Structures are given as structure tokens and as C-alpha cells.
Chains A and B, each alone.
Chain A
């Protein structure tokens, strides 16, 4: 398994500002992912965070809006930029060890944009 610390757990932000979410894992992992879960909905993959290179974004998500960093094998950040009320969601990071198929999730960041 993996222990994942995700911060902040929640935030209320003003329209037009940006928020950076941090994800820290207790051990080195190969794969790290960022998801968005809109109210009452399922999870949608935003991007795969690649260590030492640019993240791989899914259709509908762009780097300018959701810049991601992954400086090492235990840490990643997701920034939600120029926020609007439509960005109000839960944002989750997850990790997966190579060849294990199972993903372990952080507790999520509940974001409200006013």
C-alpha cells in the first residue's frame, strides 16, 4: 500500500485566483495521477504526472489551466489556475506502483470557488 498526504483538505477561493494542491507519498512510486470529481459525479482523470518531464493530459484538460509538477518520485503538485465557479470540485491524487494495477488515493481537496 501507500500513505498519501494531500493538502489542503479544503479551500474556498475567489474567482480568478489560483490554488496549488500538494500530494506527498511515503515512498517512491512510479505513477502519480490527478483526478477531478465534480459534485455528485464520478472521477475524471486530469493528467498523469511524470517525474522529470511534462505531465500527460487527458482530452479536455490543458497545461495552462492545470499545471502539474513532479520534481521527484514522492511528490507532485496540481495548480488550478484562474479559477471560476465551474472549477468547484474535489481534486484527488493517486499513486500506483509499477505492475500493481491498484491505485491508492489521497483524501482529496474540496475546492469551492466563489
Chain B
């Protein structure tokens, strides 16, 4: 399986601090994505990074990808209470498959 593994499983920080979540995967990928899920609701797409990219930014989000280590990190800067959610990485496979394989997720709590 190429399921991603996030760590930590849970992270609790204070508002204003930065939050870093990591994801590892097992096989070659075309791209890696990060999604957010609020309290058992639907997932919201945050950012996609392709296998030939090393870093990508979107607002307070910064994603890195190291294909040699098969790992990615998601950094949320200046966190807010509204960032409290579960964060999942998802990978697709080479060969044109549209199927995504989701990691186990990191539950982030931002305390006001």
C-alpha cells in the first residue's frame, strides 16, 4: 500500500504559533495533496504539490516535498483557533490513476 503516514497523530499549540505536520508515503507519486477536515465533515483541499516541485506556498501554508525520502511537510504559520481540524495528506500513483490514497491524519488543536 502507498498509504501516507502522518505524524504527529495529534498536535496541540497556542494561537500564533506555527504548526508542522509530516507525511511519509511508500511508492512513487505524481503529486501529493493536503486536505483539511473540520469535525467529521467533508474534506477541503488545501494545496497540491507535484513530484517535480520541492516547495509551495499558499497564504499561511507552506508545503515541502522530498521525493528521495518519500516525505512531505505542511507548515501552518501564525495559527488561529479556526485552524483546529484534522489534516490529511493524499497521494496518487504514477500511471494516470485518479485514485487518491489518504494518510491517517494529524489532529491539530489551536488553543486561543
Give the interface of A toward B (CB within 8 A). 4, 6, 31, 33, 37, 41-45, 48, 90, 92, 94, 96, 101-108, 110
Check B43–A43 contact: CB distance below 8 A: yes
Question: Distance (Å) between the CB of A23 and the closest chain B CB?
Answer: 11
Task: Tell me the bound Cα distance from A110 to B41 in angstroms.
Answer: 9
Tally A-B pairs: CB < 8 A. Answer: 50
| Contact residue among A6, A31, A48, A105 (Cβ-Cβ distance under 8 Å from B43) | A105
Cβ–Cβ contact A96 & B98, under 8 A: yes
A88 CB, nearest partner CB in chain B, Å: 12
A103:B42 contact, CB within 8 angstroms: no
A110 to B43, CA, bound (A): 14
Of the residues B30, B45, B92, B105, contact of A42 by C-beta under 8 Å = B105
Does chain A have a CB within 8 A of B31?
A: yes
Chain B residues in 8 Å Cβ range of A101: 30-31, 33, 48, 92, 98
Option from A42, A44, A102, A105 in Cβ contact (under 8 Å) with B42? A105
By the criterion CB–CB under 8 Å, are A108 and B31 in contact? no
Does B99 lie within 8 Å of A48, measured CB to CB?
yes
How near does chain B come to A93, taking the closest CB pair, in angstroms? 9
Residues in chain A near residue B81, CB distance under 8 A: none
Q: B residues 1-42 with Cβ under 8 Å of A?
A: 3, 30-31, 33, 35, 40-42
